[in-house]
């Protein structure tokens, strides 16, 4: 879709300008959360440009009301520099001179510590490296004034003259005035999605899918341009006879209709129609279409499909302002998924039940539902969903001031993280559970334990953490 690729093309072009003009101190990017990851990938890809002489480091720690995140960024910066040093020392050809980082810096504030670590990092870079590009892309900023003040302070430091900056704002250009203050030394790019164009293109795609002729296949069935009539069968094509189709379906434990073109085309049109209605804020239309999709799956005996359709139906019911109806739908979906040993879906439905209660401001009951979701997922073997359930439970309890039980929930989440694969841990909310535990430690003046937990969370997000929850139980106790 053009409206999604255009912002990425603007970022790629901005990075070419940034590399070609070393006098630029700062590139300011405004983008949307939906394409944040692709935007960062385009930014970081510029490190490999043949003209670039600066390593890149990307720092994504959030900015909280009570935590500016510079302590985490200092840890991440050191880890990135150590990895760069190791990589260059083992390079067979074209290696750059990168000396090991000195002992960890100490300062009165986290920002001061980060500044000292950054200055040391630049001093470790030898020929032919010209400096360092620091990409600041906090996943959220909840103290805008402090964030802007801190960035201004870093840009003003003369000893950081070899540092170039890429500053990424999400949704709103909160740091734009900081960039504009640099005048010609800054380059600005707006990489946000045009919401009107996105809706127009999405509606056109959905309408095309819904209007695809019976029996359409390939790109035509997904909304691409094509003739109104389905193409005739090839002369050498042989359709599966009903017995062969039934045998394949039985082998895959699926109804025969799931392997047939026309039934699945009908289901796709129903799902697309519901999504289209939801985008156009026609909640009743979305519920009606999705209810039909669920009934269709039940009618052909596709249990897993019926559960998935129920979860979507519940979400549309929530959008329609009917949390009680949604709760009933999610309850039924959870029961069906549990009966069929569908661990992920059962836990998702249970967590959705908790979301219904949150909307009704029944936080205590919602926390219990999230805990039950974690327990259910654990029993059915889904570690990632178990982590999500217990982490959400802990977050709600912490918000209610029930610190003791919140810590227990966070530790339970990290116990499941310990048994998960590194990639599962990195993509789960286990790092968030660790940071929540760190906040509890800080509240009790356990700064060293909090720093250790935050460093471990950062390592976990990079897929480097090896011990999961084993290292945090002692801190939390």
Q: Tell me: the pLDDT tens digits for 226-275?
A: 555 555 555 445 555 677 777 887 887 788 888 777 888 888 888 888 88
In terms of pTM, does the model score above 0.85?
no
Specify the range with the lowest mean pLDDT, choosing from 205-219, 296-310, 365-379.
Answer: 205-219
The dihedral built from the CA positions of residue 164, 168, 174 and 180, taken in this order, carries a sign that is: positive
What pLDDT sits at residue 280? 80
Q: Among 120, 213, 103, which residue's Cα sits nearest to residue 160?
A: 120
Structure token digits, residue 291: 């209810």
Instruction: Examine the pLDDT at 89 and tell me if it is beyond 80.
Output: no
Using only C-alpha atoms, what is the Rg of the chain?
26
Q: Per residue in 44-54, pLDDT tens?
A: 999 999 899 99
What pLDDT sits at residue 194? 72
What pLDDT sits at residue 173? 94
pLDDT band at 206 (very low <50, low <70, confident <90, very high): low
Structure token digits, residue 404: 């003791």
Those residues with Cβ within 8 angstroms of residue 430's Cβ, 6 or more apart along the chain or in another chain: 387, 391, 413, 414, 417, 420, 457, 460, 468, 469
pLDDT band at 428 (very low <50, low <70, confident <90, very high): confident
pLDDT band at 416 (very low <50, low <70, confident <90, very high): confident
What pLDDT sits at residue 472? 42
What pLDDT sits at residue 400? 83
CA distances from 204 to 109, 124, 200, 201, 300 (A): 53, 54, 6, 5, 29
Percentage of the chain exceeding pLDDT 90: 33
Percentage of the chain exceeding pLDDT 70: 85
Specify the range with the lowest mean pLDDT, choosing from 23-37, 170-184, 384-398.
Answer: 384-398
Q: Among 175, 173, 177, 166, which residue's Cα sits nearest to residue 190?
A: 173
Instruction: Examine the pLDDT at 15 and tell me if it is beyond 90.
Output: yes
Higher pLDDT, 91 or 446: 446
User: Rounded distance, CA 366 to CA 399, Å?
Assistant: 12
What pLDDT sits at residue 229? 56
User: Rounded distance, CA 117 to CA 97, Å?
Assistant: 18
């Amino acid at each position: 879709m053009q409206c999604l690729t255009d912002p990425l093309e603007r970022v790629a072009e901005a990075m070419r300008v940034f590399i070609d003009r070393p006098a630029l101190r700062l590139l300011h990017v405004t983008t949307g959360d939906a394409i944040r990851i692709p935007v960062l990938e385009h930014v970081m890809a510029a490190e490999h440009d043949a003209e670039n002489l600066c390593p890149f480091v990307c720092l994504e720690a959030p900015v909280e009301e009570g935590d500016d995140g510079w302590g985490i960024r200092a840890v991440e910066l050191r880890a990135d520099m150590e990895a760069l040093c190791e990589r260059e020392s083992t390079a067979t050809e074209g290696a750059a001179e990168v000396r090991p980082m000195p002992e960890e810096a100490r300062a009165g504030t986290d920002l001061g510590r980060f500044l000292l670590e950054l200055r040391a990092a630049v001093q470790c870079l030898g020929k032919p490296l010209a400096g360092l590009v620091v990409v600041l892309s906090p996943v959220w900023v909840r103290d805008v004034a402090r964030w802007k003040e801190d960035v201004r302070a870093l840009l003003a430091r003369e000893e950081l003259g070899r540092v170039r900056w890429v500053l990424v704002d999400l949704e709103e250009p909160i740091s734009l005035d900081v960039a504009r203050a640099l005048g010609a030394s800054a380059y600005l790019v707006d990489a946000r999605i045009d919401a009107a164009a996105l809706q127009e293109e999405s509606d056109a795609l959905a309408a095309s899918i819904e209007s695809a002729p019976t029996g359409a296949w390939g790109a035509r069935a997904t909304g691409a341009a094509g003739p109104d009539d389905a193409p005739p069968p090839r002369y050498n094509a042989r359709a599966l006879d009903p017995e062969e189709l039934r045998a394949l379906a039985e082998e895959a434990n699926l109804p025969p209709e799931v392997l047939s073109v026309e039934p699945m085309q009908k289901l796709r049109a129903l799902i697309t129609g519901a999504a289209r209605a939801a985008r156009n804020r026609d909640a009743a239309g979305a519920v009606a279409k999705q209810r039909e999709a669920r009934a269709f799956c039940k009618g052909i005996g596709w249990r897993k499909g019926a559960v998935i359709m129920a979860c979507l139906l519940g979400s549309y019911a929530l959008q329609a302002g009917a949390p009680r109806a949604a709760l009933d739908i999610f309850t039924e979906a959870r029961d069906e998924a549990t009966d069929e040993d569908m661990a992920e879906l059962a836990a998702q439905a249970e967590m959705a039940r908790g979301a219904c209660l949150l909307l009704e401001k029944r936080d205590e009951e919602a926390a219990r539902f999230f805990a039950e979701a974690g327990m259910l997922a654990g029993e059915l073997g889904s570690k990632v969903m178990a982590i999500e359930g217990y982490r959400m439970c802990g977050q709600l309890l912490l918000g209610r001031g029930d610190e003791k039980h919140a810590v227990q929930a966070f530790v339970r989440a990290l116990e499941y993280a310990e048994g998960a694969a590194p990639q599962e841990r990195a993509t789960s909310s286990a790092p968030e559970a660790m940071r929540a535990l760190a906040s509890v430690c800080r509240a009790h003046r356990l700064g060293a334990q909090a720093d250790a937990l935050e460093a471990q969370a950062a390592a976990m997000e990079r897929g480097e953490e090896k011990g999961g929850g084993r290292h945090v139980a002692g801190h939390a106790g």
